[in-house]
Every structure is written in C-alpha cells, then in structure tokens.
Amino acid sequence: MSRSSILKAYTFSYKNTSLEDRDALAFSSENVATFVARVRDELDGEGAVISTCNRTEFYVFGPRANAGWEQVRALVADIKGMRVSQIPQPHGLSGNDAATHIFRVAASLESLALGENQILGQVKDAHEILLGQPVKTPALDRLFQYAVRCGKEVRTETSLCEGTVSISSVAVQLAEKIFGNFAKRQILFIGAGDTAEKAAIHFQEAGAKNFVVVNRSEGKGRAFAHQLGGSYRPLEDIPEACIDADIVLVATGSQDYLVTKKMFKKVMKKRHRRSIFLIDISNPRNIDPAVGDMSGVYLYNMDNLQRVVADNLDARRQEIPAAEKIVAHFVSEWDNWLQSLQVTPTIATLAKYFDAVREQELDRHGGSVDDDDRVMLEEFSKGLIKKLLHHPIMYLRSSVQNNSLTAEDLRVVRSLYNLEDFDDGSE
C-alpha cells in the first residue's frame, strides 16, 4: 500500500441530491461487485458502496492521481448505463474527512431522522457485500469495521438512538404502554394509505397479529387486510368494528369526523365501558375531540404525538456532542492504523537515510586512509549506525504490536530526518 494512497468519499444524499437522481444512482449488489472489481483493475485501488433509499456513497482508497471524481464518475456512469453528464456533482471528501463522514453515517448523525437505527444495519450489509467479493480490500475492510464499531458504541454509550421520532412509531409505543403485549389485541385501521401501512409495520414488529381494516375503497382496503392477514369491513361498519377493537388507528383524507361522540356513546355501551385506545393521525382530524372526554377512551391526535416526537428529538440532539466525541475517537483509530502500515517503509527509509549519510561522510574523509583502515571504518560506521537506530526501530515495531503507535509518532520521525524529501530525491 503506497504512502500516496488516500481515502476519498463521493456522497449523494437527501442533503444534496434529488430523489430522482438518488433513484438513478441506486446500486444493486451486482453493481457494487462490478464497481469494486473495476476500481481495482482501472484505478489501482479499493472501492466500496453504501446504497440506501436516502443515500448512495462511493468510497475509494488508492493513489491520489487515480481517485479523483472524474475517474470515479466515468465508472459509475458506465456501470449504470448513463451518460457522464447525467451524473450530478457529489459532496466530495478526502482523508480523515471521508473517514469522519462514514463514521457519522453509521452513528446516524447524518440520517434524515437523527438517531434512526436502520442505517447501522445498512452499513453492515455494505460491509458484508464488500467482504463477499473476490477482490481484496484490506483498507476499506478496516474502515467499515471501524464504522460498524463506531455505530454500535454510539448506540450503547449514548442515548442518541433512544425514543422514537416518527408519528406512527410513537403511536404504537404509546399503545404498548397501555396494553403491553399486542398478541391478543385487535387492531382496527380506518384507512389503508401509506401512513396506515407504516403504522402496521410497527404494530407487527411489536407482536400484533389480529387486524381489521375499514376503508372507503373496497379494493385497496381488502388488499391491505390481505397484506396483514386480517379482515376487511366497509366504511359504514365503523361503529360495529370499534366494538371488538382494542386499538383504533384512523388515517384517512376525509374532511369530516368519521368517529363522533354520539356514535361512540353507543360503542362504549356495547363494550361495557371496556377501555379503548384511539389514534387519530389524520389531517384534518377524523375523530371528534369530544370522544376523548369519555370514560375508558384514550384519544391521541397529531398534536399529542408531535409533542412526544419533538421531546424525543430534542433529547436526541442533546446527545450529539457525546456521539461526535466517539466518532472523533474512531477517526483517530483509523488514522493511526493507516500510519501503522507505513512503519516498515519508514524504517527502511530511515535505515537508507542513515546509510547514505554514513557513505557520504566516508567518501568525504576516507580518501586519506589505506584499504585496511577503510574496511575498519566501514565496519565501525555500520555498527555505530545499527546501534543508533536500534532503539527507534524497536520503539516503532513494538508500538505497532501493542497498538499504541500514533500518526504523530511517524510524522515526527519522518519530519525529524526529513525523510519525505529523502524519498523524493532517491526515486
């Protein structure tokens, strides 16, 4: 691995790229395999990709001259069957800035929903795809290892990812506090749109199995009910459907109340005042707020839920400094690891530098001695150099073994003896 190698990141996310362009740049696992192989063959480097609904990011580790955006852009365009001009400009980062970015991604500091947990699994998946390629990528493998570890540590050592920050997940969480286990509870959905579908996923993840769907459109309602393994009822059956339900989630586009106080008085009477949890995430509201004043009725609307979301989001924001401190630690780990790779060439250059100085001085002062004395001076000077270098070399090697070598250690050694200029002059 050359000392001229550098880490580059070219990122397209919700922050800088339209949804249309993100869709066009989405990479399948086959696309990733092609990218990794071609970065090796054509750019003499290592390549990796993170591709999710909110971001596609290209990571390249290789020679500076080969890791530029124009080279990577041409590869991406060819792999996706696009013209180069169709590829938008990315947010580009290099060196430790690129490492910082991927660690922030894994920590969910770059997510649309701060602190969401899905991204860590997606980074793990990207790493698994990378490991599954026949092409060896030791540097990026290590980078992704650090990224996953960083994401895990942020989640265990801070509260950044605690508390839900989506309306549907907050609604389910509140219902869970009241009813506990959902396994024996009946969930009634009034509405079959995207919001209801997202809430249904959260209910299923929490153990719910018994679903009823009421919807104005029978076709869409039956399809949603089938998807949930539940049953369908027409819109006029709302009162009857509420009698057996434990939890009712209303999410429709209706401009009127679908659940009124007059209706619910009859419902509660037939339920024998058994408690019911109502969630109205419609805009405008579809449940008459007066229903919430009735005994045994727990009614939450968008305002209630948004306050919980806002509180949770504020709590997450308070954890950003602690999470960023963990990110900084792993950037240092990555940088030190990279520097440790340079120990062997640094030691070799150091030895070469000392030997060049030794020979230069012998040539300058050794002309006045006979051959026997010259041999003696050669042996003496070599032994002296060996003793002078013994401790620095042993220090560097032992520091690698006990993982205590820092980037600064190598910078000091190389600067102290001006090894960068010596390398340049000896090539």
> What was the pLDDT predicted at 193?
92
| CA nearest to 336, candidates 393, 400, 394 | 400
| CA nearest to 422, candidates 345, 350, 342 | 350
> What was the pLDDT predicted at 424?
57
DSSP letter, residue 248? E
> Which residue ranges make up each domain of the chain?
5-158, 167-304, 342-426
Asked if the domains at 5-158 and 167-304 fall in one CATH topology, the answer is no
pLDDT tens digit string along 274-298? 999 999 999 889 999 999 999 999 9
Consult the annotation and say whether 242 binds a ligand: no
- Asked if 98 contacts 47 with a C-beta cutoff of 8 angstroms, the reply is no
Consult the annotation and say whether 53 binds a ligand: yes
Is there a catalytic annotation at residue 53? yes
The pTM for the full model equals: 0.72
> What was the pLDDT predicted at 426?
46
pLDDT tens digit string along 120-169? 999 999 999 999 999 999 999 999 999 999 999 999 999 999 988 888 88
> What was the pLDDT predicted at 425?
47
196: tokens are 């209801």
Q: Which residues of the chain have pLDDT under 70?
A: 1-4, 366-367, 401, 403, 423-427
Consult the annotation and say whether 192 binds a ligand: yes
Consult the annotation and say whether 371 binds a ligand: no
Tell me the CA distances in angstroms from 362 to 366, 375, 379, one per residue in order.
Answer: 5, 11, 11
Consult the annotation and say whether 55 binds a ligand: yes
Strands of 218-327, DSSP E:
231-234, 247-250, 276-280, 297-301
| CA nearest to 22, candidates 140, 112, 115, 109 | 112
The hierarchical CATH code for the domain 167-304 is: 3.40.50.720
> What was the pLDDT predicted at 1?
53
Q: Which of 53, 150, 161, 242 is catalytic?
A: 53
Q: Which residues have a Cβ under 8 Å from the Cβ of 364 and sit 6 or more positions away?
A: none
312: tokens are 């949770």
User: CA 260 to CA 301: how far, in whole Å?
Assistant: 14
> What was the pLDDT predicted at 427?
39
Q: Which fold has domain 5-158?
A: Beta Polymerase; domain 2 (3.30.460)
